[in-house]
Amino acid sequence: MFGAIEAGGTKFVCAIGSSPEQLYSETRFPTTTPEETLHKCVAFFQEQSKNHSIRSIGIACFGPVDLDPKSSTYGYITNTPKSGWQNTRMVGFFQETLQIPVAFDTDVNAAALGESLWGAGKGKDPLLYLTIGTGIGGGGIVNGSPLHGLVHPEMGHISVPHDWKKDPFPGICPFHGDCFEGLASGPAMRQRWGQPAETLPSTHPAWSLEAYYIARALANMIYMISPQRIILGGGVMQNLSLFPLIHTEVQKALNQYVRSAAVLEEIDSYIMPPVLHNRAGILGALALAMAIR
């Protein structure tokens, strides 16, 4: 049996299990202070371990996080905007308190891993997973393992072509203004159009502009990493009518340069929604735990 923690900015989910079909005793609680929240996790696993032997725990964590095993702050949440959670020790805390191995990665890398094992990413490598919602984040599986290095990817912060005449909105990223997240996150849509994305009718010009930015970002990702599949989740992508718009715009952006059937003929399955839906986080955490050798 393995343990899984989906550590999100608004809620935590804990579970134990051995496969997506065998996930037991799931519990969830709001993210309050680190002390309270992490101790609720510990209490859950201590209770579970009375009846089950838990081999390891995986944590799919909101970020930014430190993933460098050589760093003195490995396994920490670092400079997050989430109040009270800056410099929170995650891995070390659970290892010491529960005395079991702990695997740790970003929520999006974990989701990518979950989808690659059990969802839309089976047999696809490189695989990219993007979430487009309150923020924009991206993770990936490359050559069999999650993608990180210096730190971890921050795919929401790449630049996309911004035609100020067509779209005078300056973007809302505090670091970069009109980066991808600054122009195309849920809050950016709300601020540009004066109403939440989910209240905009599907004929509103907001959606074609949104598809344009997402497609330009994906084109950059395709040129950089050459993924075999791209999975798009998150709040904004709940509007599934975005997908065909994105497909058309990606083909326009690539302009026949990438001569692959996946792009030219099968783009509906090349860029698609997650199969695990809102289970990607907790199942990604489970996958992380199971990947410990």
Q: List the one residue from 226, 238, 241, 278 that touches its own copies (CB under 8 A).
A: 226
Residue recorded with tokens 């599907």: 202
8-state DSSP, 107: H
Only segment of 15-23, 193-201, 203-211, 258-266 that touches its own copies (CB under 8 A)? 258-266
Cα–Cα distance, 9 to 6 (Å, whole number): 10
Total of residues contacting its own copies (CB under 8 A): 48
Whose Cβ is closer to its own copies: residue 102's or residue 155's?
155
Whose Cβ is closer to its own copies: residue 258's or residue 275's?
258
Apex 91 CA angle, 7 and 43, nearest 5? 65
Detail the DSSP E strand segments found in the chain. 2-7, 11-19, 22-30, 57-61, 76-77, 88-89, 102-106, 127-132, 136-142, 145-146, 229-233, 271-272
Task: Say how far residue 18 (Cα) sits from the centre of its chain.
Answer: 22
| Spatial CB neighbours of 132, under 8 Å, sequence gap ≥ 6 | 184, 185, 186, 214, 232, 233, 234, 235, 236, 237
Residue recorded with tokens 């993924």: 227
Whose Cβ is closer to its own copies: residue 183's or residue 289's?
183
Whose Cβ is closer to its own copies: residue 75's or residue 156's?
156
Is 138 near its own copies (CB under 8 A)?
Answer: yes
Q: List the one residue from 18, 27, 159, 239 that touches its own copies (CB under 8 A).
A: 159
Whose Cβ is closer to its own copies: residue 50's or residue 165's?
165
Is 69 near its own copies (CB under 8 A)?
Answer: no
As measured in angstroms, the least distance from the Cβ of 263 to its own copies is: 7
Q: List the one residue from 152, 192, 247, 279 that touches its own copies (CB under 8 A).
A: 152
Whose Cβ is closer to its own copies: residue 83's or residue 175's?
175
As measured in angstroms, the least distance from the Cβ of 153 to its own copies is: 5
Is 89 near its own copies (CB under 8 A)?
Answer: no
Is 225 near its own copies (CB under 8 A)?
Answer: yes
Only segment of 88-96, 97-105, 155-163, 202-210 that touches its own copies (CB under 8 A)? 155-163
Whose Cβ is closer to its own copies: residue 216's or residue 279's?
216
Q: List the one residue from 154, 191, 235, 292 that touches its own copies (CB under 8 A).
A: 154
Of residues 164 through 183, those in contact with its own copies by CB under 8 A are 175-176
Which amino acid would we find at residue 181?
E
In DSSP terms, which residues pair with 142 in a beta bridge? 145
CA nearest 248: which of 267, 232, 231? Answer: 267
One DSSP character per residue, 171-215 reads --BTTTBSBHHHHHSHHHHHHHHTS-GGGS-TTSHHHHHHHHHHH
Of residues 113 through 132, those in contact with its own copies by CB under 8 A are 124-126
